[in-house]
Structure 1
Amino acid sequence: MEKRKVHDGSSGTGYRKKGAASLAAIFLCLAVTACNGAAGDASEPAPAADKPAVQDSKEPVELVVYNASNSTATAEAFMDSDIGKEIKEKFPQVTIKFIATGKGTTANELLVSGQDVDLILCSVFSFPVLADTGLLYDIGDLIKQNRYDTSRLVPNAIEFQKQFGGGVYGFPVASAPTALFYNKDIFDKFGVPYPKDGMTWDETYELAKQLTQTDAGTSYYGFATRYPFMYNTNQLSLSYYNPDSQSVQVSDDRFRLFMENFTRFAQIPGNEKATTDMFAKEKNVAMMAYQIGRWDFDSWDMVSMPTFKEAPGIGPQDYGTYMNISSTSKHKQQAFEVLEALTSDEYQMKISKAGTLPIVRTPEVVQAFGQLSDAASGRNFKGKNVGAFFPKERARPSYVTKYDDAIAKRMNTAFSQIVSGGTNPVSALREAQEGAEKDVSAMKK
């Protein structure tokens, strides 16, 4: 089973719904949520004439970018990415020094060595380590000085960070599109109607049973996902660890409900071997709950992620990539200007058109999603139900702690044991709870 940190990563409106129709509902939702704002987090944007005299620095400067989540990342790949290209274009006076986490370059090792860092590129799961080492820096004053309006950002982008000391440490710069993807050819082959937006997991399970078949010696699988990914984006806002009681919490009824929901798919006779990789490679998986990939076939589409009847209409949590400012930076204003550029409507429009989920709520940016994608890129969204990526309401973010990896290992084992029939969910989760409690206790000593 994969580790906790690894990124591998609405209501129904009928079959084969077109993207344009679904986007109309998105804009209405965006307008409503924008009015609600992010109370207590957003600085009121001042008129242009009143903006304080905080100017872009034009002096040559080296900014150190630290990738805290990916040990295989390279400087070349970073500079060739959307983020790297944008920094190079908008800040010609900036030279980037890139460091990836790894042996000798963990967050703590960088701090001990005296290596300054300006910008930290990371997933949400890197925040606990960064907080422990003291590399997180509260940018609240920079937000005020630059009159940055945080209500432009997706809901929870700011609130999520406050569990790590109550501050705001950076902004999301992109998010992974997640949905229920399906292969039209398999549905057509067995005469099963396509999935719909707004389905429940129970309805999806019934479809999966229908589509798990063998035909002419070829096995077809009804459904595939990865349990760790579904937990990372879970719609019930579950957390492995309760920061209030300082205790592991994986054996209650809500976790049992969550675990039973996904183990039952793997227990469908004939569906045991289904993997997310098969969706693209063998093309014999009918439905896949996961994040978008680059695929060499076009007979796929997507609908909104199915929901729990216990949490109707609640979509998955944001699966974002963050850019934070480091506490050791000697160029915090220049670093903040980079954050402004990467969260500007102009840059977000670029990545949205290319098929990366934007992190701003600007309706025009959302509407532009996927417009420039094509078959050559492996992400051809033309004619696809792109509205599936934009749920009306996302689940509140889970608490993320430094203990999550250890707890996740116990939960991954429990998942496998339940699927194999070696034990029942209640017993498996009780064992996971007891084992995780011992692991966490050892980590606290």
Structure 2
Amino acid sequence: MKSFGTTEYETDGVIFLNKPIIVLVILMFLFASTGCSSKSGKEESVKGPEATAEVKPVELSVYRFRTNLTDDEFKAYFVEPIGKKYPHITLKMIVEDKGTTPEELLAAGVFPDIVFTSTSDIQRLKDFKVVQNLDDYVKKTNLDLSKVNPVIIESIKQFDDRGELPALPFAVGVGVMLYNKDIFDKFGEKYPRDLMTWEEVLQIAKRLSREEGGIKYIGFDPSEPALIASQLSLPFVDPVTNKSVIDSDDWKKVFQMVQQSYEASGIMKNEVPIGREVFMKDQKLAMFPLWADNFVGRFEDESKKGEFNLNWDMVALPNFPEAVGTGRESTTQSMVLSNLSKHKEEAFRVMAYMLSDDVQIEVSKQGRVTPLKSTEIQKVFGANLQSMKGKHIEAFFKAAPRKLHKPSPYDQTIVRPEAANAAVLIRKGQDLNTVIRTAKETADKRIEAALKK
């Protein structure tokens, strides 16, 4: 609100006024009072830091790119809290689909203001040259990042060659090991505990992998090699040579663990299905490590529909002996500010507010793991979810996230798929060393071809 003031003339501490000036001062005062009161009706409806200035309505677009965010979640986490905090800002969501790919949006000149994406896809956005560095915005707004788990911030900075901040975290990807209590009960086996070694898991798997009543039960599915490697923060590519490193000693240990898992569960050279659906739907798999966002929402939806009958619980992720106590590398659902946005300051304020305690408490209650260090916010995880009642919620927080390895543009598109294919060949009974060597050679050729483009 703009206001008018009176001017006083003072000499040696004494104010000199004559009658004409007194009249003029009175008239100016009356005019100023009338002007302020005429504006107050409009200004009172504006809340927040902008309440003392003219505020123009702004519409910002949020692009959901290669990650999960439902319409209801967008409304609850973004639209409603921002509507209260910044009434002049309205938000709309654009979902990646046919007609709204990054290439198509860029070609049309309508690339969104904020991108909601997973950490691993920040590299893809960098390739499109749409990522705005956030360091200056953090300083300008005095955003307190010390309340965020430092490993998460350090991991996000790994995607910038200069160690600057390309995104803000919204929620953390956390893996846990799910287990089917009915299978354990059927065979009189004690439930798994937090922070075991993989060897301990394999011993349990051997005892639970059996056939009964015509049903073949599988003790353990290790999931894909890349996720196990993540628990040691293993790189995929040498940044100097641009050659894959999946033939290193540590990667060989990962592939050996995959091989031992298949042997312990009796599925080596056996084409029986494994994976998430075998655990959730078929209920023939006893133990399965899985990202939280790959089961929390689904379990809740099926519980509400009365269609959920899986007797399950979870423990913190096991690991190799030297790394017990840590989980997978830090991965987040992140918010990227587009350098093409015409409203960067407003967009950054939206992103920053998503890290406020008020928003993060609600996010945690709805089953997303907060990036904040606050134990109070962690304690309310899943409080609004029927499917989480009575579950071992502490499992999400006992295995500390690891700092992300230095990523390369070829991790997710080339090396990870080759490692996954290697696991398929290992299960078929092919020689381990031959499989690893072939996977590396194939990955290197694909990287070389990509560099020539």
TM-score > 0.5 by shorter chain: yes
For each residue in 1:60-90, what CA deviation from the matched residue of structure 2 results, as whole angstroms up to 9, or x when unmatched?
11112122325x978x466446344444554
Which of 397, 411, 433 is the aligned partner of 1:390? Answer: 397
Which secondary structure state, in structure 2, belongs to the residue aligned with residue 158 of structure 1? helix
- Give the aligned partner of residue 322 of structure 2: 310
Aligned to 1:239, the other structure's residue is in SS state coil
Amino acid at match of 1:261: M
What letter corresponds to residue 422 of structure 1 in structure 2? Q
How many Å separate the matches in 2 of 1:282 and 1:241?
A: 37
My pick for the range that moved more, 320-329 or 91-100, is: 91-100
CA contact (8 A) 1:263 1:419 kept: yes
Mapped contact 1:73–1:100 kept (Cα < 8 A): no
Q: Letter of the aligned partner of 2:233 in structure 1?
A: S
Larger helix share, 1 or 2: 2
Matching residue within 398, 402, 409 for 2:417: 409
Partner of 1:45: none
1:279: which partner in 2?
279
Counterpart of 2:131 in structure 1 is 136
Aligned to 1:321: 333
Match of 2:65 among 63, 68, 84: 68
Q: 1:176 is matched with which residue?
A: 173
- Aligned partner of 1:115 in structure 2 is 110
> Matches of 2:99 and 2:311 in 1, distance apart?
46
Q: Please, which runs of 5 or more residues in structure 2 have no aligned partner?
A: 1-47, 300-307
Cα distance change, pair 116–420 in 1 and its aligned pair in 2 (3 A) = closer
Q: Which residue of 1 aligns with 2:242?
A: 246
1:350 lines up with 2:346 in the alignment = no
1:335 corresponds to 2:360: no
Could you tell me which residue of structure 2 aligns to residue 49 of structure 1?
none
**Deviation string, structure 1 residues 252-276 (Cα, Å, up to 9, x no partner):** 1111111221232223354453322
Residue of structure 1 in register with 2:149 after alignment = 154
Q: Which has the larger radius of gyration?
A: 2
**CA 81–281 in structure 1, closer or farther in 2 if over 3 Å, else same:** farther
Partner SS, residue 145 of structure 1: helix
Does 2:94 align with 1:94?
A: no
Q: C-alpha deviations, 1:24-81, integer Å up to 9, x for none? A: xxxxxxxxxxxxxxxxxxxxxxxxxxxxx964885311112122325x978x466446
* Structure-2 separation of matches of 1:297 and 1:81: 28
SS at match of 2:370: coil
Q: Tell me if the contact between 1:229 and 1:290 (Cα under 8 Å) persists in the aligned partners.
A: no
CA displacement, residues 307-359 of structure 1 (integer Å, 9 cap, x when unaligned): 11132322222332001111111211111111122111111111212222111
**What is the deviation of 1:361?**
0.8
Match of 1:187 among 184, 188, 211: 184
State the shift of 1:120 in Å: 0.7
Aligned residues of 1:118 and 1:326 also touching (Cα < 8 A): yes
Match among 197, 203, 216 for residue 200 of structure 1: 197
Sequence identity percentage: 31
Partner amino acid for 1:432? A
1:59 touches 1:93 (CA, 8 Å); kept in 2?
A: yes
Bigger mean CA deviation after superposition, 299-308 or 288-297: 288-297
Which residue matches 1:439?
446
Q: Secondary structure at the match of 2:378?
A: helix
Is 1:366 equivalent to 2:414 in the alignment?
no
Residues 169-212 of structure 1 show CA distances to partners (whole Å, capped at 9, x for unaligned) of 22111123421111111111101111011200000011011111
- Please tell me whether the aligned partners of residues 196 and 324 of structure 2 are also in contact (alpha carbons under 8 angstroms): no
Distance 1:259 1:84, change over 3 A: farther
Q: Counterparts of 1:172 and 1:115 in 2: how far apart (Å)?
A: 24
Counterpart Cα distance in 1 of 2:226 and 2:278: 16
Aligned-pair distance for 1:364? 0.9
- Number of residue equivalences: 384
The 3-state SS of whatever aligns with 1:286 is: strand
1:421 pairs, out of 402, 414, 429, with 429
Q: For 2:126 and 2:345, how far apart are their aligned partners in 1?
A: 21
Q: What RMSD over aligned residues (CA atoms) do the two structures have, in Å?
A: 2.5
Q: How much does 1:103 deviate?
A: 4.6
> Following the alignment from structure 2 to structure 1, what is the Cα–Cα distance between the partners of residues 422 and 213?
35
Separation (CA, whole Å) in 1 of partners of 2:50 and 2:155: 29
Q: Which amino acid aligns with 2:127?
A: D
Residues in 2 aligned to 1:243 and 1:269: alpha-carbon distance in whole angstroms: 37
Q: Distance in 1 between matches of 2:69 and 2:381?
A: 26
TM-score (norm 1): 0.80
TM-score (norm 2): 0.78
Structure 1 residues 226-266: Cα deviation after superposition (integer angstroms, max 9, x where no partner): 206625x7111012112244322111111111122123222
**Contact residue 237 and residue 395 of structure 1 kept, 8 A:** yes
Equivalent residues of 2:226, 2:420 under 8 A apart: no
Given that 2:283 and 2:310 are in contact with CA atoms closer than 8 Å, whether structure 1 keeps it comes out as no
Question: Residue 416 and residue 289 in structure 1: after superposition, are their counterparts in 2 closer, same or farther (change >3 A)?
Answer: same
